[in-house]
A and B are shown apart, each in its own frame.
Chain A
Amino acid sequence: MARWGMVFDLKACIGCNACVVACKQENSLPDSVFLTRTLSYEYGEYPNVKRVYIPTICNQCEDPPCQKVCPSGATYTRDDGIVMVDENKCIGCSSCAVACPYDMRTMLDQSMFTRGLFGTGALTPFEEQGYGRYTPGTSIKCDFCSERVDEGMMPACVATCPANARIFGDLDDPDSAPSVVIRERNGKQPLPEKNTKPKVYYVG
């Protein structure tokens, strides 16, 4: 069984946010909901100023704090390491949202589903069709596009990235692309002091 993980190459990321748009489209995400973000950060002092882009996503932790605190058993981990939410069991207590040190949970509000993203604010047929998969009040998170991964495809953000800044694969396979990059470029996990053992790495 694979153990899926992802690497972000910060030298490659150009901050185009194509991954963010692909994720919204793939998952029919309503207004102001993002399962991945590309954060920008400027530092230095004029004229020596730099900007870096730092993609963020659910880290699919091996020891996920969101799963530990879930009182209803809605959050669970698949055999391949992807952390999932069963919306039929989720009670919307937001314990997972405050437990995730990476702020990668989103609580779905009813109001998110009543306004469309375009024009007059009325829902488009695409939105109507897409919003049907969600239960207002529950918590959602990135699941590495598990339905795509199950079909042997890459997550939408990875498939879309024009700069190859997102590298996805099996972390248990030493020859997989992410394993090689992590090994050769000294991949780092975010906030390791939180002891969550993320399966997402950053290289610079």
Chain B
Amino acid sequence: MLVEMAVYGSTVQGGQEMDQDRLETAETSARLVGNSFKLGYRFQRYWDTSMALAFFFAEVGTGVFLVSFYLDFVPGMIAGLVVTGTLKPYFHLAHMGVPKKSWRAILRPDRSWISRGAIAIGVLIGFGALHIIDLSFGVAVRLGLPEFTGQLLGYLAVAGALAVMCYQGMAMSASESFTLWASVLLPISSFFYALTCGVMITLVAAWGVLGAEQQVMLSNLAVALLVLDAAIVLAILLRARAKSKGGQFSVNLLTRGEYARSFITLVPVIGLIVPVIILAFGEGRWLAVLATAMMLIGFFAFRLLMFKAAVFEPITHDLAGSIGLPSTRTT
């Protein structure tokens, strides 16, 4: 029992039993060892703000492209491609240690989600640009190509967009290091957050251009997606909490520990609940702009805090029997 306390933080402080909340806060602060020579939880420190921005802009850009493609809204398609084709690579290259060799990132699509994602972005940008050129100037018909050529190019771009919308989550969930990430829910959250961004930004950008019916449809869809995003975020936290002590540790960081104030304020409240209320009960373009801005802030906070709250677990989990330490694994 004493040894168990040492692993998860002492249950006794000043001779009195601590309540559960304080215990978990103590546990969080007691066992974080940073990069030191102590045994304990270590923060993920390799993917940082640059990577979060790269993921964020890829999801925003592809979401906008996809929704605009569905609505035949050419300015939206162009904006989506520009965001995905410029900001995403810029921040990804900023993160890379050797950016001049970044072309090598496409060499292993057989095993790496980074490679698959890079190729998918190429597909999206290439076919998307050709589709837009064809839509704007009717190039296929002028060249005597079959009529469906333009549409085919569009669908190929959509295939690329769908892959990009999911691959960031796939790249994170492929890492077994962090319980918080190692979940099938990560690519699902990537996809639906990207779609939410696409719907809300297109709603705002095409306000007045779209018919009233389409506007209502997008607004209702945005509310439904925001509710779905909230459910997915909650499911990610619950699943991580149940899966291992490391997952529990990360969730505590987000909900009660170091990042609790930022996470709770920005992700569920500003990013999800308030936009739902605004869209469900408010009317007018500027309220929609406000809701969209808040959702984007919340989404970026989610991306960044998912990076920051991921922790490497102590390696003693299964060494317990051999070295006299308790097992920290949940069974």
Contacts and interface: CB of A to CB of B under 8 A. Distances in A.
B239 to A, nearest CB: 16
A188 B97 contact: no
A138 interface: yes
Contacts of A123: none
B101 to A, nearest CB: 5
How big is chain B's contact interface, by range? 35 or more
B38, B95, B104, B313 interface centre (most CB from chain A within 10 Å): B104
Interface string A129-149: 000000111110000000000
B318 to A, nearest CB: 5
A11 B47 CA distance: 36
B299 interface: no
Interface stretch (B106-114, B210-218, B267-275, B280-288): B106-114
Contact of B96 (A32, A52, A91, A99): A91
Contact of A107 (B5, B46, B111): B46
A102 B178 CA distance: 10
Contacts of B2: 43-45, 48
A100 interface: yes
A190 interface: yes
A48 B113 CA distance: 49
Contact of B6 (A44, A89, A193, A195): A44
B15 interface: no
B322 A203 contact: yes
Interface in A7-41: 10, 17, 32, 37-41
Interface in B1-54: 2-3, 5-7, 10, 35, 37-40, 42, 44, 46-47
A137 B6 contact: no
Interface stretch (A69-77, A113-121, A166-174): A69-77
B38 A41 contact: yes
B318 A97 contact: no
A153 interface: no
Contacts of B112: 68-71, 95
B102 interface: yes
B321 to A, nearest CB: 7
B318 A193 contact: yes
A44 to B, nearest CB: 6
Given A43-B3, A94-B46, A98-B175, A71 B106 contact: yes
Contacts of A65: 175-177
A10 B274 CA distance: 54
Given A72-B108, A193-B317, A92 B176 contact: no
B97 A54 contact: no
Given A71-B104, A91-B97, A102 B321 contact: no
Nearest to B3: A43
Contacts of B113: 69
Interface residues of A, number: 62
A95 B167 CA distance: 14
A90 interface: yes
Contacts of B317: 190-191, 193
Nearest to B176: A194
Contacts of B319: 10, 54, 188, 190, 202, 204
B13 to A, nearest CB: 12
B329 interface: yes
A30 to B, nearest CB: 14
A90 B322 CA distance: 37
B316 interface: yes
Contact of A92 (B37, B97, B318): B97
A56 B315 contact: yes
Contacts of B315: 54, 56, 102, 190-191
Given A10-B323, A99-B176, A71 B118 contact: yes
A138 B98 contact: yes
A91 B39 contact: no
A128 interface: no
A51 to B, nearest CB: 10
A8 to B, nearest CB: 10
B108 A191 contact: no
Given A193-B318, A204-B323, A91 B101 contact: yes
5 contacts: A68-B111, A69-B114, A70-B111, A71-B112, A195-B176
Given A69-B175, A91-B102, 6 more contacts: A10-B323, A44-B2, A69-B114, A101-B177, A188-B322, A203-B322
Interface of B: 2-3, 5-7, 10, 35, 37-40, 42, 44, 46-47, 95-99, 101-102, 104-108, 111-115, 118, 171, 174-178, 310, 312-313, 315-319, 321-325, 329
